[in-house]
Structure formats: C-alpha cells, structure tokens
Structure 1
Amino acid sequence: MRKLYFKIFSYLFVVFFSFHQLSYALLTLPEEEKIGKQVLQELSSKVEFIQDVELVAYINSIGKLLTEKGVDFSPFKFRFYLIKDDTFNAFSVPGGYIFLNSGIFESIETEEELAGIMAHEIAHNLCRHVAKRLESIKRMQVAITAATLAAILLGGGKAAEAVGITSSAFAETKLLAYSRADEEEADRTGFQILTKAGYSPWGMVRIMEKLSKKSKFAVELNYKYLLTHPLPQERLTYLISLARKYGSNKGSSSIISSDSYYFKRLTIKATVISKDPADLVLKYKEELKIKDDPWIKYSLALALSQQRFFKEAISEMKKALKELPPKPYFLLDLAEIYLNSGDYQRALTVIEGIKFSEGSKKLFEKIVYLKIQYLKAKALAETSRLFQAYEIFNSLKGNNILENDPYFYFYFGRICSRINKDGEAHFYFGKYYELKGDYKTAYFHYKKALSFLSKEDKMYNEVEKSIKYLKKDK
C-alpha cells in the first residue's frame, strides 16, 4: 500500500506537469476535478473499497452533514470513499475526493473523532493544499522531476532506486507531508466545519492526542496518516487552543449514531471486514476462554461469516443476541449471515420479523431502515421475486446517502437486467463503473442505455448528462 500512495501522488505530479509546462499558476478548478477523477480511476484498479451498504451510508451521512451544514461554499461536490485496509489513514485529492481507510474505526471511540478526521481532510481540499504542493513540486530541479517520472514508469522498488531516488524517501520528504502552515490552516478550517455542523471540536483533539503518542513510531506502526500529517507537540497545543476557542466540551459526540451500541457495532464490523478473518477467529476464540463477553461472541460470528463458516457463525450470533440488548440492527446481522449462506428464505423471515418504523427522525435509524430494505430486496431477488426487489431498489435510489455507493447501482442493474429493463440496467451499470472510476466502461453502458431508452423517458436526460460529464475531460 505504501508504494501505491507514492505512485498516486507521483501520478498527481505527472498530470499537473502535463497541464502546466509553461505556467506557474495554481491548478484551475476543472483541472483539479480531472485529477480527482483520474486518481479515483487509479485507486479503483489497485485497492478494494468497502461494499457494506451500512458502513458506506454512515460515512456518507457524516460527510454530507459536514459539507452541507459546515461548509458555506465549495466549488466541488464532495465524495467519500472507504478503502478496505486495516491501517490508519485518510487523505484527500483535488476535486473533492476524500478517502478513508476502514482501519480508522479500530482507533476511534466516538463519532466526533471520526468527524474530526473527515473535517480535517475536507479542509485540506477546500484550502487546495494538494494543488499548492503540486506547484511546489513543479518548481524542483529537472533532475528530481526526471527521477520521479522514471520511478513511476519503472514501478518503484530497485528499478526506481537505480535512477537515484527511493520511493519511500521521496514520498515522505517531498510529496506526502503537509507543511506546518497547511496543517494549521486545515485545523482552523476543520474546527469551523465541525462546530457549524454541530460537533464538538474536542473529538478532533482527542484523536490527535492518541495519534501524537504514536507519532515517533509512525513507520513501525504503519500509521501512514502520520507520515503525511505531522503532529509535533506545538501543533497539539495549537489544536487545544482552537478547541477552547470554537466550542465547549458539551458538544454532541454522536449526531448520526446517537445509539452507543450502534456505533460500537459499526466499529466492530469495519474492523472485521478490514482484517484477516482467520486471524480474528483465533483471536476471539482465545479471548472467549478468558472472558465470556457477548461483544466477543458477536465479533467472532462476523469473522466466521467472513471465512464462510456460516453454520458456526449463525450459532455464535444467536448466542450473542441472547445477551445483547434487543436492538433491530443486531437481527439484521443474523439475516445477512443467512443471506450470504444462501438460506434466502430464512433471511427474509428474520428481516420481515424486524419491527422498525420507516418514519424515524433519528439519523442512524434511517440508515438501519435503508439496510433492512436493501437486504430484503437482495433476498427477494434471490428467491425470484424480482419485481418486488425492483420496487424496493427503485424506492431507495433517490436516497442521497446512497448516491456515491457503486455497489447499490450494481445490484440494481443486475435486477433490472433480469426483468428485461435493459435501458435502466445499462444506466445503473454505468453509474457503478463511473463511481468506481472506470470511465471507459461507464461510457459504454451509458451509450447502450440510450439505445434502449426513448427520448421521452426521464432517464434519457439523466444518461445524456452523465455522458456529457464523462466527455468533458476527454
């Protein structure tokens, strides 16, 4: 992964250099948008994104809260992506693209800590710090630039070292580290975003305090975040002074996940998805020998399911549910194990037995309801009740916390194709590939969608807009 980040930021340099061979002006907004799209494309071919609809919706919900309430104006539409990686890292690239590693969940204790990290990355984007760093890189000597380009073409490693530069040294000292001024500006802007959105800024202080204790061992602990976001004691002192300025310690620690059990459940789910399930199964079984804890049983059930040991996973989940509070979202986890095991009817039985109100005003419950409907539609589709599944997906497609989830559109496209709604199927497959950064395949599906749709169809105009968006950077 470390070589990947070197390649990505080096790649940013190449794109930038190609735009500005003569000019030293800062990147224009269209150029930043183009770079962001191209980096997403590069990332999508190298890393795996989290597919869990609930975790993705949760991240998008926090992101939307921060950008819609905390940001007065942005030239970009912000997009949030959750990378399947068990290390602690978050970064932004030009054009409003924010990436988080799922490993972050293992280190946070509250939603406001997560919001603090996200607000900080949003701030870097708004302040256009990456664009400014690219300008600085361009001003380097030609020899260094040539070495950088050679390292990209040769793929890093010994070949890159042969041209006089190591990927790790260059990445850490020249490409990845924000300046102190950048960090202080992002801290100030991030605090403003947090408080306007309704979060206490102290969550950001707490997570940075935790990271500060690890900063001396960033390389050994594989904390990539600390390689790009230096945390000297002076900055921590500055953060505390900002927190005192921008808010008291009485702010809400959780706005989306106002149920503490719900938040803990999400952190466990993200951790289990991120790590090797075989290692986790051994770990949790050893822990259960020492302590009889329902959360450990719950974690073990998820890890066993990841390993596809469904019978044992169901048994452990049922044990955990007897001891955990009777929350509807725990039943969803049992239903999902049944679904993944191929027992679709039993999954449906569990889902349909969940008592839950669609009209809840609590934000986390809206996400839970979305997950209920999502799993129900998948189970219906697998039991050949395709039109019922289609109606559910069709009712969910306007939900703004799903609009950046490519896998939602992938499953919707599959259902449409099975009931001969070919125009819609190609449109949703196009959305899937666009959100994954595969613009060539997205363009193909959008063009195919037009061949099946009539100009009177409302979707026809949506497809044309999508094609226009993809063509503008060609």
Structure 2
Amino acid sequence: MMAETNLFPTASAPGSADVSGTVSAKLLRFSLSALIAGSVISSSALQASAQSQSLPIVRDAEIEALVSDYTAPILNAAGLGKKRIGIVLVNSPSFNAFVDGRRIFINTGALLQSESPNEIIGVIAHETGHLAGGHQDRLREQLRQAKTMAVIGTLLGLGAGIAGAMARNGAIAGAGGGIAAGGGEVAMRSLLSYQRSEEAAADRSAINYLNKTGQSAKGMLTTFERFASALSLNGTQIDAYRVSHPSPRDRIANLSQLAQASPHFNKKDPESLQLRHDMMRAKIAAYSGGLGALQRMFRNNPQGVGARYGDAITTYLRGSARNAIPKINALIKEQPRNPYFYEMKGEILLKANDPSAAAAAFKQASTLDPRKSSLIRMSYGRALMLTGNKANMETAIRELKSGVAKDPEFSEGYGYLAQAYGQSGQMALADLATADQHYYAGRINDAKIFATRAQTRMKSGSPDWLRAQDIINTKTKKK
C-alpha cells in the first residue's frame, strides 16, 4: 500500500460559504454520511474563510482493482461508463465518501467498516447518483442564491441600523442587527434544505442503479443503521434544519419499502467477491490498526484467508520480514494466480534486503495482473533499480517509464525513475524526472529548479527539452 499526501493538488478542500461567496467543502462535497461528528453545520461555519488542504491519498493496486470492479457496473447503469470517472482512496478512518468533479473519493475507513461488498457498493451507488444528477453544478447555483439572500439580509439590517441611529431609536437599531443576522440564517437553512433534497434524490437513484445491476440495496440500509446507532450512542441532539443530510432514521424510513420491493433484496454477494473484500479489509486493518484490529475483525474465522493475509502483512510491518515470507508463501500456494500475493511478497523481500528476489516476485505479479497495474510495474522497476546491477537498469527504466506514463500523477514513480537514470549515468534525464516528481507533488518552484538544470544538458527543441520548458513556464499560484 502506497501513501501519497499531495498526489492531487487540485483536490484541495475549499472552506465555507459566507456572504462573499466562498464555497464550503462540507457543502460542495456530497458525502454519504457527512461524518457523524461533524454532520451539524453551525451558523458560525458560514463565516469561515476558505482553506486549501491536501487530501492524504492512498495508492494500492489490489484495493483500486476491487473498488473499480464495484464501481464499473454502477457507472454503466447511470450512463456514466464512458465518462472516465476516477476513484480516489483517502487515508481517513471515518466512514465517508464524496464526489468532486469527475472523481469519487472513498475513505479507507468506509472500506474497513463495510463488512460486505454490498455495503460499499451502496455507498458508490449513492455518490454516482450525485454525479449523474449534476448535483454539484446545481449546488453552486444554490450557493450563489444563498449569497444573494445573505447580502440582502445584511443590507436590510444595515439600513434599519442607520435609520435607528439617525432617529436615535435604540429599538430600531437593535432590530437592524437582528435582520442582518436573520438574513444569513435564512440563507443557510435554505441551502441546507436544498442539499437534503439532493441527498434524498441520490439515495433513490442509488436504488435504481442497484436494481439495474441485479444487486441488493440491503447494504445501504445497513450503513444507515450503523449511522443511526452511532448517533444514538453519542447522544447527539440534532437541529433538523441545520444538517446537510436527512437523518439516518428518515433515510431508512424513506428507502426501506423501495429496497425491499426489489427482487434482489435478499441476494448475497458472490463468495469470491466477499473473499476479496475480506482481504482488502485485512490489508487496511494491518496498515492502520495492527494485530489487535485484525483479531477483532476475524475473530469468527481466525484461520481464514483474510485473517492470515492480514497476519502476514502485520508480521512484515512489525519488522519481521523473514518471518512473514513463509506466511505469504503459504497463501501463494493456495492461490498461485493471485497477483497481489506476489506483489506483497515483493514488498516483504525488499524489506528483507533481497531486491533480486523481490524483482522476481513483482515480475510474476505483473504477469498475472489482468489490469497491468502501473503501481506493480513501478514496483518491479524499482526493485530492479535497487539491485544496483547495471545490467538491470535498462529494464528498470523501461518499467518505470511505462508506469508513470500510465499514471503520471503518482509523483513517487518519478522519484524512482530519477534514481534509475542517475545510476545509469543519464543525469539530465534524472534531473527532469526529479522535476516531474516535484511538479506532480505540487512543489512547482522546486520543479522549475530541476527543470532548468536538466534543460542546460539537453538538445534545444527535443521532446525532453520541451517538457522541461513546460515546467519552467508553469505559473505559480499567488498565496
């Protein structure tokens, strides 16, 4: 599992909606849960200024493949199969998902807490409903209207205040302040009411997509039951007019009849898909929660594949790479065509300081991988580079170049490529790869430094020279 905190510089979180028109992440991101702890939007939130913050992105070939398999049928059912909708994994323990542009963001916490594929597929169906319904664009229009309402309320308040002051009438002046405050309150409530209606529409669309794909909506109801239980346990008191989502109980009441009317309501996920889901959860638990989390997760099946997969990963992460190798080998023996077991074996062997054996494992993973994941190819190239054998450098560079060409925003790949170029004595290309690494990580000034240095040793007008020039010409955003 690879973490990248600045992979998507454009996926920053804008702040709140105030009378000057600043847009709120809580309002523009149509999230399924609106984070239980932060589901209530207070009036003070409308006065917050915008802040950019990078999302902690997680990259993992196995998890991305599984979530993609969950998503593809839903997107096709929604008529979005050809729209190149991206799936982004966010490293966060909370159960949440949201959309932004043409991307669906899913927290690792949602993947970890969903006990069946059907639960997370319901989440994806809901977010797809927002995309298909064009809710983001409509919400921006509602934000503009809310801004207008707030401004009018403020002007009325100012007018009343001035009139009161001129008449030396304190009561009128006081009323002016109330009108000004009321304008913002009305705008906020109107905006939240609109968003609640869009959330309900996305829920209904989700059930339609699930019916079209022959899948149950029971997982959606299970998710809302989880939220309702969390609110009950927390003793949270919610003002129904100050939330961006309908309450979990309302959503259950509204959807139960529709969900249960489907002929697919009691349909279970295929065993093979459930097994992949269990292994995904085991991997996330191993990386985020350790052995205790795994034992709790698989207490009813401690010898299952998922539990043993998580145990192998935990053993490796705790510094016992040599002890992890026989555990992953046992899993490979059971599933000799699982590319992700070989990928994990490669990671373990790298930690065991055996890059040659790791390269062989990554090569096998790449051969078996039907998706030809760019991440696995880059891992293969990186392992070859780490052998230090000059005979491996040409293949290492080829694999790394293929990987970054398919996945250009993965900045770490350029770092590996820069090392490979450096070991092969191609210093200009090493500087250019380093420039790309900084560029895709959002460090534009550093990217320009390395691009300028690379360009001095390149033929003017060549493709690499032009790429360096593009980086040099990039405009940096003013703070």
TM-score, normalised to structure 2, is 0.63
Please say if 1:55 is aligned against 2:66: no
Task: Determine which of 323, 341, 347 is the counterpart of 1:330.
Answer: 341
Query: Does structure 1 retain, via aligned residues, the 8 Å contact 2:61–2:375?
Result: yes
Report the Cα distance in structure 1 between the residues aligned to 2:309 and 2:229, rounded to whole angstroms: 34
| Paired AA for residue 49 in structure 1 | I
Match of 2:307 in 1: 296
Report the Cα distance in structure 2 between the residues aligned to 1:444 and 1:246, rounded to whole angstroms: 60
Query: Does structure 1 retain, via aligned residues, the 8 Å contact 2:13–2:51?
Result: no
SS at match of 2:89: strand
C-alpha RMSD over aligned residues: 5.1
Query: Does structure 1 retain, via aligned residues, the 8 Å contact 2:14–2:50?
Result: no
Report the Cα distance in structure 2 between the residues aligned to 1:292 and 1:449, rounded to whole angstroms: 54
Report the Cα distance in structure 1 between the residues aligned to 2:235 and 2:327, rounded to whole angstroms: 32
Please say if 1:187 is aligned against 2:203: yes
Larger Rg: 2
Task: Determine which of 214, 218, 223 is the counterpart of 2:227.
Answer: 214
Match of 2:358 in 1: 347
Render the CA deviation track for 1:123-143: whole Å, top value 9, x for unaligned: 43532165356446635758x
Query: Does structure 1 retain, via aligned residues, the 8 Å contact 2:418–2:433?
Result: yes
Q: Which residues in structure 2 correspond to 1:92-103 (within 5 Å)?
A: 92-93=99-100, 95-103=101-109
| Paired AA for residue 326 in structure 1 | P
Report the Cα distance in structure 2 between the residues aligned to 1:189 and 1:421, rounded to whole angstroms: 54
Report the Cα distance in structure 2 between the residues aligned to 1:316 and 1:427, rounded to whole angstroms: 41
Q: Which residues in structure 2 correspond to 1:81-160 (within 5 Å)?
A: 81-93=88-100, 95-111=101-117, 113-125=119-131, 126-128=134-136, 131-132=140-141, 134-135=143-144, 138=147
SS at match of 2:109: helix
Query: Does structure 1 retain, via aligned residues, the 8 Å contact 2:366–2:377?
Result: no
Q: Shift of residue 184 of structure 1? A: 2.3
Match of 1:265 in 2: 279
Query: Does structure 1 retain, via aligned residues, the 8 Å contact 2:71–2:124?
Result: yes
| Number of aligned residue pairs | 399
Q: 1:218 to 1:320 in 2, by over 3 A?
A: farther
Please say if 1:383 is aligned against 2:387: yes
Task: Determine which of 252, 275, 290 is the counterpart of 1:236.
Answer: 252
Match of 1:33 in 2: none
Render the CA deviation track for 1:274-304: whole Å, top value 9, x for unaligned: x2326447x479959x954453232122122
Report the Cα distance in structure 1 between the residues aligned to 2:457 and 2:232, rounded to whole angstroms: 53
Task: Determine which of 28, 38, 42 is the counterpart of 2:52.
Answer: 42
Report the Cα distance in structure 2 between the residues aligned to 1:287 and 1:414, rounded to whole angstroms: 44
| Paired AA for residue 55 in structure 1 | I
| Paired AA for residue 382 in structure 2 | K
Report the Cα distance in structure 2 between the residues aligned to 1:53 and 1:297, rounded to whole angstroms: 19
| Paired AA for residue 267 in structure 1 | R
Render the CA deviation track for 1:180-216: whole Å, top value 9, x for unaligned: 2111232355566677xx844535x513433334324
Q: Shift of residue 86 of structure 1? A: 2.3
Q: Shift of residue 344 of structure 1? A: 1.6
Query: Does structure 2 retain, via aligned residues, the 8 Å contact 1:336–1:347?
Result: yes
Render the CA deviation track for 1:284-342: whole Å, top value 9, x for unaligned: 79959x954453232122122222232333344345556x4434332332232111232
Structure 2: state its 5+ residue gaps: 1-11, 29-48, 155-187, 237-242
- Identity among equivalent pairs (%): 19
SS at match of 1:91: strand
Render the CA deviation track for 1:83-139: whole Å, top value 9, x for unaligned: 22222111234x445432111122334545434423433443532165356446635
Query: Does structure 2 retain, via aligned residues, the 8 Å contact 1:430–1:441?
Result: yes
Render the CA deviation track for 1:375-406: whole Å, top value 9, x for unaligned: 3222111102322211112233443xx35544
Task: Determine which of 316, 336, 339 is the counterpart of 1:305.
Answer: 316
| Paired AA for residue 421 in structure 2 | C
| Paired AA for residue 382 in structure 1 | L
Q: Shift of residue 467 of structure 1? A: 7.2
SS at match of 1:11: coil
Q: 1:373 to 1:72 in 2, by over 3 A?
A: closer
Render the CA deviation track for 1:391-440: whole Å, top value 9, x for unaligned: 112233443xx355443344334433443545654555455445545455
Q: 1:278 to 1:206 in 2, by over 3 A?
A: closer
Please say if 1:373 is aligned against 2:377: yes
Query: Does structure 2 retain, via aligned residues, the 8 Å contact 1:9–1:176?
Result: no
SS at match of 1:183: helix
Query: Does structure 1 retain, via aligned residues, the 8 Å contact 2:129–2:205?
Result: yes
